[in-house]
């Protein structure tokens, strides 16, 4: 029995789980330049699409820079928040947990005001271009609501793990 069902379960797992695993992206801000001065972060961001579930990595030498999450007004005028709100590790990973505009600045010296060390992005809703369950060998998933679909996914994975 298990041997008959396995290929189907494999197919379901492949279609349902693999796109989920590849959905979250870790964006290294500035790529190999990292988080630094005199870099155009709007250029860096302009052709990228950010989704809920992705994350930003601000990489820099600790002590040389820091990261503040601010609002639009503070971003525009480079208003530096209290020091205790800074991220300072040199490898600050910020999960993008909600859709909308986000603003980040460096609070060291005049890095934001004079040296362009500021980044603003727009985060889109999580459900990244939904991996269409079209080729799945099941007619069950397509008509169901999201939560039922997720429960089904979890059940499928659980069954697969037991059987395989
Ligand atoms: C992270 O930043 C440090 C300090 O600038 C640099 O030496 C290192 O190469 C960076 N890592 C990556 C993967 O870019
Ligand atoms: Cu800086």
Q: Where are the domains of the chain?
A: 2-22+130-163, 24-124
Which tokens is 51 given? 């989704």
Q: Which ligand is nearest to the CA of 34?
A: 1
- Condensed to tens digits (0 to 9), the pLDDT of residues 37-70 reads 999 999 999 999 999 999 999 999 999 999 999 9
Q: Alpha-carbon distance 88 to 91, whole Å?
A: 8
Instruction: Please name the residue whose Cα sits nearest to atom 9 of ligand 1.
Output: 32
Identify the CATH assignment for 24-124 out of 3.20.20.80, 2.60.40.420, 3.40.50.2000, 2.40.50.100: 2.60.40.420
Q: Is 59 in the pocket of ligand 1 (CB under 6 A)?
A: yes
- Condensed to tens digits (0 to 9), the pLDDT of residues 70-119 reads 999 999 999 999 999 999 999 999 999 999 999 999 999 999 999 999 99
Q: Alpha-carbon distance 34 to 13, whole Å?
A: 36
Please state the atom number of ligand 1 nearest to the C-alpha of residue 36.
5
């Amino acid at each position: 029995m298990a041997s008959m069902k396995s290929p189907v379960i494999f197919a379901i797992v492949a279609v349902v789980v693999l796109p989920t695993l590849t959905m979250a992206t870790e964006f290294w801000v500035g790529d190999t330049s990292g988080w630094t001065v005199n870099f155009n972060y709007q250029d860096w961001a302009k052709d990228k699409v950010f989704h809920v579930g992705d994350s930003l990595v601000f990489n820099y030498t600790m002590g040389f820079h820091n990261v503040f999450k601010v609002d639009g007004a503070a971003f525009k005028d480079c208003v530096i928040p209290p020091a205790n709100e800074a991220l300072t590790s040199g490898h600050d990973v910020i999960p993008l947990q909600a859709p909308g505009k986000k603003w980040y600045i460096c609070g060291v010296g005049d890095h934001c005001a004079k040296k362009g060390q500021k980044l603003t992005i727009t985060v889109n809703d999580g459900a990244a271009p939904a991996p269409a369950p079209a080729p799945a060998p099941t007619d069950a998933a397509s008509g169901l609501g999201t939560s039922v679909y997720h429960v089904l996914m979890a059940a499928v994975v659980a069954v697969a793990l037991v059987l395989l």
